[in-house]
Amino acid sequence: MKEMKDGAYRRKKLGGGVGKLMKTGSVLIIYSRFLRP
């Protein structure tokens, strides 16, 4: 849990735009997986 938080913070520092895109992409993938039977 702590490692994930640390990684997210570092990603945010590196590039908020890129991190946001990756986050949105992963969310979309998860949603599509749930929506598809």
**6-33: per-residue pLDDT in tens?**
777 776 666 667 778 778 888 888 888 8
What percentage of the chain exceeds 70 in pLDDT?
A: 68
Residue with tokens 């938080």: 5
Number of residues that make up the chain: 37
**How many angstroms separate the Cα of 9 from the Cα of each of 13, 14, 15, 25?**
6, 9, 10, 18
Nearest C-alpha neighbor of 2 from the set 10, 23, 16: 10
Residue-level pLDDT at 1 = 55
Spatial distance between the Cα atoms of 34 and 12, rounded to a whole number of angstroms: 27
CA dist 14 and 12 (Å) reads: 5
Q: What is the pLDDT of residue 11?
A: 63
User: What is the reported pLDDT for 12?
Assistant: 66
